[in-house]
Structure 1
Amino acid sequence: MKKSLVAIGIIAIVGSAWTGSTWYMGKLIEQRMEKMVDQSNAILKEYLPEAGLQLSYQDYQRGLFSSHFRYILQSDANSSGEKWLKAGDKITFVEQINHGPFPLSQLKKFNFIPSMAVVHSELENTPRMASLFEITKGQAPLSAISNIPYQGNIASVISISPMESEQKTASLQFSGATINADVSEDLRNVTLDASSDSFLFTNKGYNNQLEKYSLQGITLKSTSSKGKFNLAIGDEQLAVKQMSLDANGKNIALLEGLILNTYLGESDEHLNTKLNYSLAGLKIKGNDFGSGKLILSINRLDGKAMKEFITAYNQEALQTIQQGEDFEAQELSDILWSQLPMLLKGNPILNIEPLSWKNSKGESMLNLNVELIDPATNTTTANNTLQKSFLAQRVKKIDATLTIPQAMATHLTMQIALLAGYNVEESQKLAEQQVQGLVAMGKIFRLTTNKDDIISSSFHYADNQIDLNSKKLSLQEFIGLFGLFNPINEEPAPEHPSEQMPSPEQ
């Protein structure tokens, strides 16, 4: 009997302590709400300044074990320019907080690790979101469960609901997605792991042709942190198991095993980036065109210059867009090129190792290394138009090698001819003629060599001198081969390259 009373007493003490601590956690969370909202608004202004959005909260109701409130995302009246949301439009999230140190939602899962709170978020059906709720059949399009520890990363599981929509000429089917996110308390470190099974878009295109675009097995993995230049550095991988295009029930193109890897790192003064793209297979109308890959790296990018470049580009692009809806992509391209010299401050190095395409007959490969120069530090005196060119003023060195197996090129060209409507025999003959023509042209211009049925080329440029397949040429002589440039105070280039260069037999 005494033991039972002691047990009941202990349970009462623990229950009282838990009740008091959960009440205190609810009060503490309410006190921190303003700070959390201010942090979120700072992030919106930093990453989406053109959006003109502002986050706030309202209807905070604190209970003993849980609290409820709403996050409101709406237009910022103090923001200038065109905004993403019109005045009066609201995007609302309904929030339910289970107080720590042992949130009830965690106890139900037999999780006894203490935490400050567990938050359940759900997009609310407001007039602005009504059309989105229609295609999710009334389910919340977006919801999340977040575990907020006393210290460490905030772990969230975000769910995007399946969607179905059908219009007069188009339809959409989306299987939904799951995103696992870990975010540090200061919001500087973020890890994402997202996946979706399928996405299908159907549309009636040209001549009422039924077109289907589908993606299968989509995954995204990302690890990023805020670096010393206030840029997000880290790794990211986007993978698509299968991507296809069908027309009137027939497959037009099928891409398999598409993987895009990106990396951005930093040293004391520089940023280094690497892009690794690969495609396991490409089929066009049932014909196997092979596989490809590209590994591109850019090193020695000046970190401060990159930050200035991004800021300047975003500001000019935003101003251009806000001038009206009829701006053209060329305008943004012009802005990009006008700001591009900033990126040359660190004398960056560009590498392609390799760009390759492989089919059943062999693999073609290009390797390229380019060292760039900041024009402001280039002390070379420019005496003529050629020396004032982009190449002479901004490029220090180029090294490039190219190899193309003739059998591989012939097979690829034959497949292209088949798609154009030629039969097998005609396609083979046409492909052989075109590849042989390519070989002959390469010999005439001394651009390529041919040994053991491998078309190859090597190119080296430095100090306005070129080594092309072991032949020394000045930059002027090289450009003169193609009649592209006639330097000042120089005789016109001969009409035929063969008058300037020895014939292949010499």
Structure 2
Amino acid sequence: MKKTVIATSIVVILGAGYTLASWYTGNIIENNIDAKIAQITNQIDQYKSLPDVNIQYSDYHKGIFSTSFNLTVNTVNLENHQNTLFNDKVTIYHGPFPWSEIKSGDFSPKMGAFIYQTSKESNESLWLAAGNKPFMTINSSIDYSENIKLTANNEPINYTNEELGTNLQATKNSLFLSIDNQLNNLVIEGQIDQLTLKNQMDYLEINHLVLTGNVVKHADLGYQAKAEVSIENGLIGRVNSNNENLNNNDSIKVNQLAIDINAARQNKRLTGDISSSVNNLFLGQQDLGKGEILANYTLPLNYDLSAETNDDKALRNWYVKLDKLLWHNQQGNLSASFTLNVADNDNMPWDQLDEDNLILAQAKVNLPLKPLTYLAAQISNPQKSMPDDNDIQSVTKSVVMLFGLFLNNSPIIDFNYDPNDEIEDGVSVDLYYSKEENQARLKGKSITTGQFWQALTRNKLPKFN
């Protein structure tokens, strides 16, 4: 009997403690909601590329274990017109152990959590398309350090709007988002298993897309960002006039596409690199081949030039480098690389580059005629599975005529065509200029920097010794 009384007492004490903690957490949420909304709005407004955001709440009701209110999120354009992104009721379950989290098997302490599900009233068409249930569910939680985690999942859907001629089909997909209490560290992960969207003119299909990324902001206002995207296969194209089937002759399809982006902002400069590869690229019925690209850059950011010191001037230099551009098809490889380092003298236009602001220029291009004309013939005949001899010969004649006409006297670009195939036909560039080293090269031959600029300004290559 005593054991029963003790156990009952413990349950009562725990229950009272939990009720008191939950009530106290509700007060914390109420006292801090305005400041948190202002903080989020201010952080979004710092990103000039994003539209202004207006976040408001109304009809606020606080209970012991939960708080509910109506949340409205609007974007505001330059004409002060508002576009509503979200307008619905939100319920926050109080910590330290929100009931919504306990039901999902998460017993870690949290200040609050909420589950939002799209309602039938908000969009009846999507409700029906999802099988008479919420199309999307959003789970979010905030711990006592005010770090936020959010997950969003949609139900499989088959939605049709006959009036707009739109059809949307999607499997169950997910998105995860994590933000720290100062909005200085953001992590995002997303996955689309399958998505198909068709309207009266366009068709889009994505299979097995995976997205990961993070942004870290530092105290000196610098930041680092990283994003990786991979798509097993995707397709974009046009719809036939009967508005039923994809026009395969006017479509672009990719297999095994990968994109990797890194960027960092610090000391008034933006640096980063970009790499991408695709295993197959189709245009209509033509398999154009596969390719990869790797580039990096260092770019100046806008700042007050009137406060600039002599040491700051070097920070305005532009540096862009294409480490690798490679395309491979059935006839061979097309490749290119270049480096460009330019002194930004009071934002001088690119067409006014001269000895004063060009620091370094280097380019290597190799476009053999066979893979080049084969690719051109493929692009000209997307309705075929592969170009025939007549297609290739026709394109080759046009390319030889145009290149011979416009590139024969070029001081930069070499064009070789030998009907007897004694040398490799194609387009090539071998260019080098260094202001610091006082060296230059055109078409693989060393020249003075003065001759380099004369060749460019007069469009004529100097005589070599």
Please indicate the TM-score interval, normalised by the length of the shorter structure: 0.7 to 0.9
Unpaired runs of 5+ residues, structure 2, are 306-311, 417-421
Aligned equivalents of 1:349, 1:279: Cα separation in 2 = 26
Q: Distance in 1 between matches of 2:85 and 2:265?
A: 39
Equivalent residue, structure 1, for 2:208: 217
Specify the alignment match of 1:359 in structure 2.
Answer: 329
Contact between 2:126 and 2:159, CA under 8 Å: does it hold in 1? Answer: no
Q: Is the 8 A contact 2:222 2:265 kept in 1?
A: no
For residue 151 of structure 1, what is the aligned residue in structure 2? 145
**Structure 1 pair 454–221 and aligned structure 2 pair: CA distance change class (3 A):** farther
1:173 CA displacement:
0.8
Return the offset for 1:366: 0.8
* CA–CA distance in structure 2, aligned partners of residues 46 and 423 of structure 1: 52
Partner in structure 2 of residue 35 of structure 1: 35
Match of 1:412 in 2: 375
Shift of 1:279: 2.0
1:368-405, Cα deviation, whole Å (9 max, x unpaired): 11111021599xxxxxxxx9932444321101111234
How far has the Cα of 1:263 moved from its partner?
1.3
Paired letter, 1:239: S
Structure 1 residues 91 and 83 mapped into 2: Cα distance closer, same or farther (>3 Å)?
A: farther
- 1:106 is the counterpart of 2:101: yes
Contact kept in structure 1, 2:275 and 2:295, CA below 8 Å: yes
Q: Distance in 2 between matches of 1:204 and 1:109?
A: 42
Q: Which residue of 1 aligns with 2:458?
A: 480
Structure 1, residues 387-424: CA drift from partner, whole Å, max 9, x if none?
A: 99324443211011112344433432443454488972
* TM-score, length basis structure 2: 0.78
CA deviation string 1:111-167 (max 9, x = no partner): 22111111223456778x788778778765654211211226311112356462334
- Amino acid across the alignment from 1:198: Q
Offset at 1:438? Answer: 8.0
Counting aligned pairs with the same residue, the percent is 18
Task: Name which of 193, 208, 211 aligns with 1:197.
Answer: 193
Out of 182, 189, 202, the position equivalent to 1:186 is: 182
* Cα pair distance change 1:9/1:214, threshold 3 Å: same
Q: Equivalent residue for 2:308?
A: none
Does residue 19 in structure 1 map to residue 14 in structure 2? no
- Please say if 1:64 is aligned against 2:67: no
1:388, 1:105 → 2: CA distance?
61
Alpha-carbon distance, 1:289 to partner: 0.9
Q: For residue 182 of structure 2, give the secondary structure of its aligned residue in structure 1.
A: coil
> Alignment partner for residue 448 of structure 1, among 414, 422, 429?
414
Of 389, 397, 402 in structure 1, the residue corresponding to residue 352 of structure 2 is: 389
- Asked whether the 8 Å contact 2:115–2:139 carries over to 1, the reply is yes
> Is the counterpart of residue 425 in structure 1 residue 369 in structure 2?
no
The aligned residue for residue 470 of structure 1 is 445
Query: Counterpart of 1:474 in 2: which secondary structure?
Result: helix
The equivalent residue for 1:333 is none
Give the number of the structure whose residues are more often strand, by fraction: 2
Per the TM alignment, residue 31 of structure 1 is displaced from its structure 2 partner at its CA by 1.5
Q: Is the 8 A contact 1:196 1:217 kept in 2?
A: yes
Secondary structure at the aligned position of 1:101 is classed as: coil
Question: SS at 1:375's partner residue?
Answer: coil
Amino acid at match of 1:41: T
Q: Which amino acid aligns with 1:183?
A: I
CA distance in 1, matches of 2:403, 2:49: 53
| Greater per-residue helix proportion | 1
Supply the distance in 2 between the matched residues of 1:178 and 1:171 (Cα, whole angstroms): 23
Task: Give the conservation status (yes or no) of the 8 Å contact 1:169–1:203.
Answer: yes
Q: Which residue of 2 aligns with 1:349?
A: 319
Shift of 1:461: 2.0
What TM-score results when the alignment is normalised by the length of structure 1?
0.73
The one-letter code sitting in structure 2 at the alignment partner of 1:481 is N
Structure 1 position 402 matched with structure 2 position 399: no
Q: CA deviation at 1:232?
A: 5.2
Is 1:83 aligned with 2:80?
A: yes
Specify the code of the residue in structure 1 equivalent to 2:394: L
1:491 aligns to what?
A: none
Q: Is the 2:111–2:144 Cα contact (8 Å) retained in structure 1?
A: yes
Q: Which moved more, 1:216-225 or 1:452-461?
A: 452-461
The amino acid that maps onto 1:116 is M
CA distance in 1, matches of 2:329, 2:9: 77
Cα distance, 1:52–1:147 mapped onto 2, change above 3 Å:
closer
CA contact (8 A) 1:282 1:290 kept: yes
Deviations 1:288-332 (A, max 9, x none): 210122222112x34xx34679xxxxxxxxxxxxxxxxxxxxxxx
Q: Secondary structure at the match of 2:35?
A: helix
On the 8 A contact 1:95/1:122 being kept in 2, the answer is: no
Q: What residue identity is the alignment partner of 2:445?
A: S
Does residue 1:115 correspond to 2:114, yes or no? no
Distance in 2, matches of 1:292 and 1:350, equals 20
* Cα drift, residue 184 of structure 1: 0.6
Q: Give me the whole-angstrom Cα distance separating, in 2, the residues matched to 1:26 and 1:476.
A: 76
- Distance 1:285-1:388 versus aligned 2 partners, 3 A rule: closer
Give the whole-Å Cα distance in 2 for the aligned partners of 1:38 and 1:152: 14
Name the CA distance, whole Å, in 2 between partners of 1:445 and 1:7: 94
Query: How do 1:125-144 residues align onto structure 2 when only pairs under 5 Å count?
Result: 143-144=137-138
Report the counterpart of residue 277 of structure 2 in structure 1. Answer: 278
Counterpart residue number, 1:313: none
RMSD: 3.9
CA-CA distance at 1:359 after TM superposition: 1.4
Instruction: Describe the shift of the 1:4–1:124 C-alpha distance in structure 2 as closer, same or farther (beyond 3 A).
Output: closer
Q: 8 Å contact 2:377–2:387 — kept in the other structure?
A: no
Contact kept in structure 2, 1:170 and 1:201, CA below 8 Å: no
CA distance in 2 between partners of 1:134 and 1:219 (Å): 28
Structure 2 counterpart of 1:166, from 158, 161, 168: 161
